[in-house]
Chain A
Amino acid sequence: MALYKIVPKNPYYFWSVMSLVMQAISAQDEKLAQTMFLPLAERMVEKMVKEEKIEAEAEVQLYFMILERLGKCVEALEVIRGPLGEKLTSELQSRENKCMMLYQRLQQWPECNALAHKLLLKNPDDWQFYPSYFDSLFHLIDQSWIQPEEGDHCPEGEVHHTVAEVVRFVEERIKGEDGKESHSLRGPYLARLELMHRLRKRGCAEERLLGDPFELMVQFFGKFGDKPCCITDLKIYLHLLPAEQHVQFINRLSKAVPLREQGEEGFSFPEDTKALQRHLCLCQLSRALGLNHSLDVDGKLRLITELKAHYRYGLKFGKNAVKTELQFSDMYCLMAAHVYIDLWTETGDENMVWQCLGLLQEGLSHSASNAQFKLLLLLLYCRLGAFEPVVDLYSSLDAKHVQHDTIGFLLTRYAESLGQFAAASQSCNFSLRFFHSNQKDTSEYIIQAYKYGAFEKIPEFIALRNRLNQSLHFAQVRTERMLLDLFLEADIVLSLEESVRAMPLSAEDDDIPWDNMRDNRDLTVFTSWDPKERELTDEHRLRSLEEESVWLRLRSLTLRLLTFLAGLGHTPSQQNSKMSNENGVGDKTSVLGSLLSQLNQTLQTAAQLAEKHIQYPFLGPPATRLAPALSSGSCQCQAAALQLSVHLQELETVGLDESSELQTQICNSFKSLVVQLQEILNKCKGDLLEMKESKLKTQPSLLENLIFFVETVCIVLWMASYCAKILRPLKTGLQKKKKKKKDSQTALPVVVCGFQELTGSLQDLLTQALEHIKGQETGMTALKLASLTLEGPTQEEVSFMQAAMDKVQSSYLRSLQEVGDLLKKRAETIKSLKI
């Protein structure tokens, strides 16, 4: 405002108006916004309006924004419909859109209706106005609205307030499209189906006026069946067909699909790409109606053969395609892959997944840019426990920036859990770089928005920044990255204390926005033509977010407890000031106690969740590590190890004399930890990859359990290290006392013996694990995959399957190597546990 007083230019004035609006938006107290900031802003703008000083479009938009936030819709409408509204020129249809929104808020249904169909007359393909048109109709009917005799005409024009009028309007639009020779618009045809859907939902008998949905959809397919979007359009309305008509529907549509070319195996093929697209749509519709899923195993296998034949035949249409183009018949390949997956999940027959992988690799060889092939390959390899091939696949997608938040989870869910630690660090880093740069950048764009008068954008930019800061994926990668660093380096490269000190974390602080977590994952990135009952639902999304949050809480608490443990390692004089030194032990205990109790509570919640055995669609969100972490026993063992710190702290205070009960308790805990670790290790035993009945079988859960073992052993070792730090001075002190008393024969304190047993057992466990790994490596390398009799009609098919198997084998070996290397380093650290 000071600027404005010097140079009375509008922008300066409006910047201060915008500042008031910003204060209103960010005000904690909504009443303050409504009673002070916004009215003040409103008065400032009104002053300019009265003095006729409004110049720019941005100023009108700001005025509109203020009125809208104040809920003053009538006044806002006047502004838009009046002379000021004429300034809203740069965005197409800006006035009409704002009017429509206000009519809806004010529930002025006649105006809403009239404006909607006026806009639809201009552009019958503009989908956003059909819902408004239909909604307003139903409101008018519900209100028993009657057209006023004369005068009082709706300012927007004619109102359609009966179903018959609306039906006629839609039919007329359709007639308009029917008459065209080319480029008919889909809008009116879909609008008719949409209206039918709504009438049916309302139980309205007048649905009959529109005709038979069967015929309408046949007609739609006839007109638009050669467009790739036909399936996405029709899929929305398939529920209008009763189940008994499904097969008949497909049969009827096939009459509109010309297949004249005779091919092998008795199949007929399309002559050109349009016919191909029609046939493809037919297959997609079949799947969406559930007809694929109702086939038995043989039926599905026959379907796969047919789809593969169509896929390979269709490649001829794309012989001259550039590397960046997709093949016309690619979606046949994808669909066949989906049926393979159906069979795999139904029967557990591993051949299905190998053939599926082979087919997708074949598809990729002809269509190197097909993102859907890459995504599905990625998913399948991960499900088989093979992360190595995923690195290149993901990198070839060239996903960047915000895509790290929306699809980064495909990588970070699996990298560490499958033992590819280097790749795991890297994938966390991609995401973290993006999130950190976002925290720095957005303010600049808010300033730019002020400069260009894009006031409406400012709240939107702030919302975006919040959405990214509160991202579930962000919270996960920063937690997992820190844990990974500790697992890989703490007490190997740096001590646990030094590693923790290098991190931006303290035990008391929890910077995860639990209450405002945003799940930004794109869970529909995989193309799917599954029937409605198999699709991802809102319920799935909620359950997935819940599960991810619980798992994150477990990991976050574990991390914070480790941070706490690292702080305990110091003598009081060396401790970080974060741990309030002044209050001494009491305060430490309460933080520890609180964290441990939260951990136990979360474990209970986790157990309850795991019992529910929630199943997601195959192409939906991946299950978290929660259930296997619990069933392997690793969560419970980690919690027990961390719990031990309470007793160890006590021992430190009390000393070795007069503490035999405590010492026995501690020793029992030691023994229990060893037993639990052995149980986890037992769950790793078995062959990751084996030949059984001439089929190649995988057991990825064995690898996942091995990683749980690694993580757990690390935590137990850190606990042991802390224990050693406590016991050493106590033992030395005891020896000095003995010397003084000249006691020649005294037994070692119970806890010291117990601890020595512990370190011995840990050594044994690690040796066992390393032997197991060696055994697996030897066995796997010796597996002669080439000697498998693979089923495939062509040599080419067999070689693609072979390639996929090789990749999985190589990945397992890589994981085993990385895990083995880490366990060797951990085994080395046991030497330093001598007391």
Chain B
Amino acid sequence: MTTLRPFTCDDLFKFNNINLDPLTETYGIPFYLQYLAHWPEYFIVAEAPGGELMGYIMGKAEGSVAREEWHGHVTALSVAPEFRRLGLAAKLMEMLEEISERKGGFFVDLFVRVSNQVAVNMYKRLGYSVYRTVIEYYSASNGEPDEDAYDMRKALSRDTEKKSIVPLPHPVRPEDIE
């Protein structure tokens, strides 16, 4: 039982159960406000009957239409441990995909740590495939080495020939990303 509603500034004070997870990053206030200002429709939170936050998704739309690169992008997706295995992540992704479809996006993409097998498998089950590997995308905070990311994609209906998800033969560096 889930209320799916737009994320509000007040939710920033209630998301510790989600953000204290090691793979969830807490960004600076400006980062969240930028998303709320520019792409509020993509910033959705799930709330439980008791009022606790269960999880949220943050996304945006970018890229050139002419080059058929206009797409939806998942910036962050996280579900609190106590609310996992309810299909919530899938539901939030579904909403982001629907919004991207309405905007005429060609595909949806996201970055995920190569070591995060749980997430990689989940996205594969949702129809995503690895488009390319980005070397040292994630900078480590504590003296550990930087980590590679998979750039995973799912084609939307506008990409009739599914050109956008044909994998690249070679990895890229963060500087090479548009």
- Cβ-based interface call for B52 (8 A): yes
Q: Which of A127, A445, A522 contacts B13 (CB 8 A)?
A: A522
Q: Produce 1/0 per residue, A392-435, CB < 8 A to B.
A: 00000111111101110000000000000000000000000000
Could you jot down 28 A-B contacts, CB within 8 Å?
Answer: A92-B95, A92-B98, A97-B5, A128-B47, A185-B1, A190-B1, A227-B86, A228-B81, A228-B82, A228-B83, A236-B49, A324-B22, A369-B22, A398-B22, A398-B26, A401-B26, A441-B30, A444-B30, A445-B30, A448-B38, A452-B38, A457-B37, A461-B36, A464-B10, A464-B33, A467-B10, A468-B29, A527-B82
A448→B30 CA distance, assembly (Å): 11
A229→B21 CA distance, assembly (Å): 17
Tell whether, in the assembled complex, residue B50 and residue A90 are in contact, meaning their CB atoms are under 8 Å apart.
no
Expressed in whole angstroms, the minimum distance between the Cβ of B28 and any Cβ of chain A is 5
**Which chain A residue has the least Cβ–Cβ distance from B83?**
A229
Q: Produce 1/0 per residue, A435-463, CB < 8 A to B.
A: 00110011011001101101011001101
Tell whether, in the assembled complex, residue A90 and residue B41 are in contact, meaning their CB atoms are under 8 Å apart.
yes
Contacts of A405 in B (CB 8 A): 13
* Interchain residue pairs A-B with the least CB separation, the first 7: A371-B20, A445-B33, A464-B9, A128-B3, A90-B41, A369-B22, A91-B41
Chain B interface residue count, Cβ-Cβ cutoff 8 angstroms: 55
Expressed in whole angstroms, the minimum distance between the Cβ of B11 and any Cβ of chain A is 10
Tell whether, in the assembled complex, residue B26 and residue A400 are in contact, meaning their CB atoms are under 8 Å apart.
yes
A468→B32 CA distance, assembly (Å): 15
Tell whether, in the assembled complex, residue A227 and residue B50 are in contact, meaning their CB atoms are under 8 Å apart.
no
Tell whether, in the assembled complex, residue A397 and residue B38 are in contact, meaning their CB atoms are under 8 Å apart.
no
Contacts of B124 in A (CB 8 A): none
Q: Produce 1/0 per residue, A320-357, CB < 8 A to B.
A: 00111110000000000000000000000000000000
A129→B75 CA distance, assembly (Å): 29
- Cβ-based interface call for A194 (8 A): yes
**Which chain B residue has the least Cβ–Cβ distance from A187?**
B1
Contacts of B102 in A (CB 8 A): 89-90
Tell whether, in the assembled complex, residue B50 and residue A232 are in contact, meaning their CB atoms are under 8 Å apart.
yes
Tell whether, in the assembled complex, residue A442 and residue B82 are in contact, meaning their CB atoms are under 8 Å apart.
no
- Cβ-based interface call for A235 (8 A): yes
Tell whether, in the assembled complex, residue A522 and residue B84 are in contact, meaning their CB atoms are under 8 Å apart.
no
- Cβ-based interface call for B67 (8 A): no
Q: Produce 1/0 per residue, A3-22, CB < 8 A to B.
A: 00000000000000000000
Expressed in whole angstroms, the minimum distance between the Cβ of B50 and any Cβ of chain A is 6
Contacts of B9 in A (CB 8 A): 460-461, 463-464, 467
- Cβ-based interface call for B170 (8 A): no
Expressed in whole angstroms, the minimum distance between the Cβ of B77 and any Cβ of chain A is 15
Tell whether, in the assembled complex, residue A448 and residue B34 are in contact, meaning their CB atoms are under 8 Å apart.
yes
Contacts of B3 in A (CB 8 A): 126-128
Tell whether, in the assembled complex, residue A438 and residue B29 are in contact, meaning their CB atoms are under 8 Å apart.
yes
- Cβ-based interface call for A186 (8 A): yes
A128 and B5 contact, Cβ closer than 8 Å, known pairs A235-B50, A399-B20? yes
Tell whether, in the assembled complex, residue B40 and residue A126 are in contact, meaning their CB atoms are under 8 Å apart.
no
- Cβ-based interface call for B8 (8 A): yes
Tell whether, in the assembled complex, residue A445 and residue B37 are in contact, meaning their CB atoms are under 8 Å apart.
yes
- Cβ-based interface call for B118 (8 A): yes
Contacts of B33 in A (CB 8 A): 442, 445, 448, 461, 464
Q: Produce 1/0 per residue, A231-247, CB < 8 A to B.
A: 01101100000000000
A322→B115 CA distance, assembly (Å): 9
Tell whether, in the assembled complex, residue A464 and residue B22 are in contact, meaning their CB atoms are under 8 Å apart.
no
A401 and B29 contact, Cβ closer than 8 Å, known pairs A228-B85, A232-B50, A407-B16? yes
Chain B CB within 10 Å, residue with most, of A194, A229, A399, A442: A229
Q: Produce 1/0 per residue, A296-326, CB < 8 A to B.
A: 0000000000000000000000000011111
**Which chain B residue has the least Cβ–Cβ distance from A191?**
B1
- Cβ-based interface call for A125 (8 A): yes
Contacts of A441 in B (CB 8 A): 28-30
Tell whether, in the assembled complex, residue B13 and residue A406 are in contact, meaning their CB atoms are under 8 Å apart.
yes
B-side interface residues toward A, CB under 8 Å? 1-6, 8-10, 12-14, 16-17, 19-23, 26-30, 33-34, 36-38, 40-41, 44, 47-50, 52, 54, 81-87, 95, 98-99, 102-103, 115-118, 141
- Cβ-based interface call for A691 (8 A): no
Expressed in whole angstroms, the minimum distance between the Cβ of A253 and any Cβ of chain B is 19
Tell whether, in the assembled complex, residue B99 and residue A90 are in contact, meaning their CB atoms are under 8 Å apart.
yes
Tell whether, in the assembled complex, residue A437 and residue B28 are in contact, meaning their CB atoms are under 8 Å apart.
yes
Tell whether, in the assembled complex, residue A449 and residue B50 are in contact, meaning their CB atoms are under 8 Å apart.
no
Expressed in whole angstroms, the minimum distance between the Cβ of A475 and any Cβ of chain B is 16
Tell whether, in the assembled complex, residue A232 and residue B82 are in contact, meaning their CB atoms are under 8 Å apart.
yes
Chain B CB within 10 Å, residue with most, of A89, A91, A525: A91
A227 and B29 contact, Cβ closer than 8 Å, known pairs A127-B1, A194-B49, A448-B37? no
Known A185-B1, A401-B29, A468-B29; further 11 A-B contacts with Cβ < 8 A: A91-B6, A186-B1, A228-B83, A232-B83, A233-B49, A235-B50, A401-B26, A403-B16, A448-B33, A456-B40, A527-B82
Expressed in whole angstroms, the minimum distance between the Cβ of B17 and any Cβ of chain A is 7
Contacts of A740 in B (CB 8 A): none
Contacts of A325 in B (CB 8 A): 118
Contacts of B95 in A (CB 8 A): 92
Tell whether, in the assembled complex, residue B52 and residue A402 are in contact, meaning their CB atoms are under 8 Å apart.
no
Expressed in whole angstroms, the minimum distance between the Cβ of B148 and any Cβ of chain A is 16
- Cβ-based interface call for A183 (8 A): yes
**Which chain B residue has the least Cβ–Cβ distance from A471?**
B13
Contacts of A233 in B (CB 8 A): 1, 48-49
Expressed in whole angstroms, the minimum distance between the Cβ of A519 and any Cβ of chain B is 10
Chain A CB within 10 Å, residue with most, of B3, B87, B99: B3
- Cβ-based interface call for A520 (8 A): yes
Contacts of A463 in B (CB 8 A): 9
**Which chain B residue has the least Cβ–Cβ distance from A468?**
B29
**Which chain B residue has the least Cβ–Cβ distance from A321?**
B118
Contacts of A527 in B (CB 8 A): 17, 82
Contacts of B48 in A (CB 8 A): 127, 229, 232-233
Tell whether, in the assembled complex, residue B40 and residue A92 are in contact, meaning their CB atoms are under 8 Å apart.
no
A191→B21 CA distance, assembly (Å): 30
Contacts of B10 in A (CB 8 A): 464, 467
Tell whether, in the assembled complex, residue A126 and residue B37 are in contact, meaning their CB atoms are under 8 Å apart.
no
A401 and B28 contact, Cβ closer than 8 Å, known pairs A228-B83, A232-B52, A322-B115? yes
A126→B50 CA distance, assembly (Å): 14
Expressed in whole angstroms, the minimum distance between the Cβ of B90 and any Cβ of chain A is 10
Tell whether, in the assembled complex, residue A125 and residue B103 are in contact, meaning their CB atoms are under 8 Å apart.
no
A442→B117 CA distance, assembly (Å): 37
Contacts of A454 in B (CB 8 A): 36-38, 40
A128→B48 CA distance, assembly (Å): 9
